[in-house]
Every structure is written in structure tokens, then in C-alpha cells.
Amino acid sequence: MSSEGSAGEAATEAQGLNPGLVVLLVVGGLLVTFLVANYAMYMYAQKTLPPKKKKPISKKKLKREKLKQGVPVPGE
């Protein structure tokens, strides 16, 4: 009986890697690949895309900025 038990253990060891480990490695590999690809695309976009245009400042904001800088308000 003991010889059958050791043969069963040898058969389980010969199966290969633990399925949980295989799933973990596959998911980890996909995650790393995704992050590396994202970073590569980000760097490519930074080099090739033109810089964003600034939005025009509204007259209200321009007036407010002048007041903050100490330009005298008309009527005072």
C-alpha cells in the first residue's frame, strides 16, 4: 500500500506547474505588458503631438487680473 502512495505523489509532481501559479503569472504578465505599452504610447504622444493651445482669456477675467495687480479702478 505504501508503494502505491508514493507512486501517486510522483504522478502529481510530474503534472507540472501549479495551475494557480500559471494564472498568476499570466495575469501578472498581461498587467506588466499593459503598463509598459501605456507608458510607451504616452512618451510617443508627448514627442509627436503638438502642444495644446491656450484658451483665450475672457474680458471679465482680464479685468479681474488688472484689479489684483493694483491698477486703479475707474471712478475711485
Q: For CA atoms 37, 38, 41, 47, give the dihedral sign.
A: negative
Residue 70 is classified by DSSP as T
- Entry pTM: 0.47
Q: What is the pLDDT of residue 21?
A: 94
Q: What is the pLDDT of residue 56?
A: 82
Q: What is the pLDDT of residue 1?
A: 47
Q: What is the pLDDT of residue 61?
A: 81
49, 55 Cβ separation under 8 angstroms: no
Q: What is the pLDDT of residue 34?
A: 98
For the chain (76 residues), the mean pLDDT of every run of 10, in chain order, is 54 72 96 98 91 81 81 59
Q: What is the pLDDT of residue 66?
A: 80
